[in-house]
Structure 1
Amino acid sequence: MRPLPLFFALLLALCASTLHAADNFLPGVKRIVFLGDSVTHGGGYVEDFELYLFARHPERKFEVIDIGLSSETVSGLSEDGHAGGKFPRPDLHERLDRALPKTKPDLVFACYGMNDGIYLPLDEARFAKFREGMDWLHDKVTAAGAQIIHVTPPTFHALSARPGPDAEGKMPTSLLGGYNLVLDRYAAWLLEQRSKGWRVIDIHGPMNAFIDAQRKTNPDFVFAKDGVHPNADGHALIADQLIAALVPGDAAWWQKFRTDLAANPKGAELRKLVHQHVHMLGDAWLSDIGHKRPGVAQGLPVPEAEAKAAELEGKIRALVTELPPH
């Protein structure tokens, strides 16, 4: 048998390497569920992550379900007079036993903490409830046969809460004080759980660092005008951290893809389709599972949403294939 020409040998090796890399990315995972509060419900970083999956792993058919719920906690805590006294904060304990058997995830991303400190100074009793809730959530997901990746809480950084200069007129090294100090501790505890084998992705530290760096030249820089809900750039940073943590070698690829997409005439259309895809499925599943938070849009019945989502997916995949190769 004659040996293959060098070009074809290299091509086969490249294909084998590509397939091997695809198989090694989240092996055995098809359905991915995102749990969290209003930052997750807003969905910006989930949309970016789904776009990454479509663009980087077109040979895989992932299902992304965003069932984040605004105001929710994993601690079960709620402050007096929440929402003007209209309703207490929803508690993940109330719905998780329905959510897991209904959605049947292979992998869960869980991002909690922002609401769990109840926007008050650090308190051991509240902190203990957060830790208990996280332990409970971890055990529930693993008992259901799914993997779980915890995500540290985003940064709280309202400008209205920033400290003033000291007695000598100098501003503090970091402007991230106040309630963010509570989230610093919650994030640090989550990262400590890596020693127990937990998979934890840190977004809190990178958000802190980015905001601090920006405020050296722009003291009024924020991702979130209200301190809580990041804008598109903040969500992009969160997605960047997820991707870099899962596949460090893809960080530069993703940055270039996003830059190129922003300059592409079809980029806005692609992002719009992904937005519709994520929220149509998320709203449907959120309604199907049920919850106790008023004011959440009613989703379509799941079968109807899945049918419409399949049409959107076809359009997304077609657009992705039309983009320049990366």
Structure 2
Amino acid sequence: MNRIYIVFVLFLGFGVDGSGQTRPLENPSSIRDAQKILFLGNSITYAGYYVALFESFLITAFPTAEIETINLGLPSETVSGLSEDGHADGAFVRPWLFSRLDNVIKRIKPDVVFACYGMNDGIYQPFSESNFQRYREGMTALYTKLKAAQVKRIIFITPSVHEDPILGLNGYNLVLNRYAQWLIDQRKERNWEVIDIHFPMQDYLMAKKTLEPNFKLAEDGIHPGLEGHRFIAEKLIRYVDDTFAAKDFLSRCLDPTSGYYSLYKLLEERQEIVKNAWLTYTGHKRPGLPAGLPLDEANKESMRIKNEIHKLQNINQIQ
């Protein structure tokens, strides 16, 4: 019978330097001290694969920490308050983050927030200065509101790439280039924390296409598949701790023969339950989403999964 060995210390205690020598893991980030980490964003965040992969890293790197990771991404949402004519075949206008943000902050009280907006904020139209201004104002207002709520760390993530079915990266992605670059510029102009996934993802996509011309990270041009989410998770992990063996770790998380895959799948299950419960509890205006469990029931399910994770950490092999 094949045995799958799961050894959390492989990634917990040591990193590897350029010479191949191991060294003690050093992480100057205060992420390990967080109590509640909140993820905000649109449907890409709501899908949650990169969030579950990032949480897999947190549990592996900081197994004694009590960090609650809550994904409250909302499909179709914008930070700009814009919505194109006929969105969703006229069924509903795009939800606006600020219609729910106060309630989210009040009820969750996060001390770290990751926020990824931009993909929907240009409403899939050619570049418009007025649309761009609404995006800049929305991101600035989001930062101001989170600061006022005494959120300790606010970490923005640039939007992922958009592949137009005809124009490729020379379509709506050019709008996102402008949005992403503005956000990156705020590192120096306002001392914001910003993780850039947009331009590295664009480079990765172009490199892959030189080998596989039909390669896509997002089949619909918008929503990355698992490979894209893995790419995002790697950028987040490297930002938090560039000594952690992120690429190797994520490969193991997505390898069904690895014990880390069991960890990732448990977190994916937990995230789905907790996400829908909190979205229902905090309220939103996006139709078509599943109603979540009452929070007390969701917390029981979350604890059940947490116990399964503890069992996984306490054994050294899985048959």
TM-score relative to the length of structure 2: 0.87
Q: What aligned pairs does 1:2-21 form with structure 2 within 5 A after superposition?
A: 21=26
Quick one: structure 1 residues 223 and 24, their matched pair in 2 at CA, closer, same or farther if it must change by over 3 Å? closer
Partner of 2:249: 257
Going from structure 1 to structure 2, the CA distance change for 1:114 and 1:282 (only over 3 Å counts) comes to same
For CA contacts below 8 A with separation 6 or more, give which structure has more relative contact order. Answer: 2
Distance 1:135 1:179 in 2: 23
The Cα of 1:64 is off from its aligned counterpart by 0.4
* Percent identity over paired residues: 42
- The AA in structure 2 aligned to 1:81 is G
User: Where do 1:84-233 residues align within 5 Å?
Assistant: 84-146=89-151, 147-158=153-164, 160-162=165-167, 175-195=168-188, 196-233=190-227
Q: CA RMSD in A?
A: 1.9
For residues 6-46 of structure 1, the C-alpha deviation after alignment (integer angstroms, 9 at most, x for no partner) is xxxxxxxx9xx96x946854254110000000000000100
- CA change 1:123–1:51 in 2 (3 A) is same
Deviations 1:249-297 (A, max 9, x none): 11xx122223344163544433321111111111111000101110011
Task: Structure 2 unaligned segments of length 5 or more: list them.
Answer: 1-13, 15-22
User: C-alpha separation between the residues in 1 aligned to 2:316 and 2:267?
Assistant: 15
Compare 315-324 and 199-208 and name the one that shifted more. Answer: 315-324
**Equivalent pair of 1:22/1:57 in contact (CA under 8 Å):** no
Structure 1 residue matching 2:211: 3-state secondary structure: coil
**In structure 2, distance between residues paired with 1:24 and 1:229:** 30
Aligned residue pairs total: 293
- The structure-2 alpha-carbon separation of the partners of 1:22 and 1:317, relative to structure 1 and needing over 3 Å to count, comes to farther
Residue 293 (1) aligns with residue 286 (2):
yes
Residue 107 of structure 1: how far off its partner (Å): 0.4
2:57 aligns with: 52
Which of 271, 279, 283 in structure 1 is aligned with 2:264? Answer: 271
Query: After alignment, is 300-309 or 102-111 more displaced?
Result: 300-309
Q: CA deviation at 1:77?
A: 0.2
Deviation (angstroms), 1:61: 1.2
Kept in 2, the 8 Å contact 1:187–1:204? The answer is: yes
Structure 1: gaps spanning 5 or more residues: 1-13, 163-174
Amino acid in the other structure paired with 2:250: R
Bigger radius of gyration, 1 or 2? 1
CA contact (8 A) 2:29 2:241 kept: no
Alignment of 1:243 with 2:237, yes or no, is yes
Query: Aligned partners of 1:114 and 1:307: how far apart in 2?
Result: 35
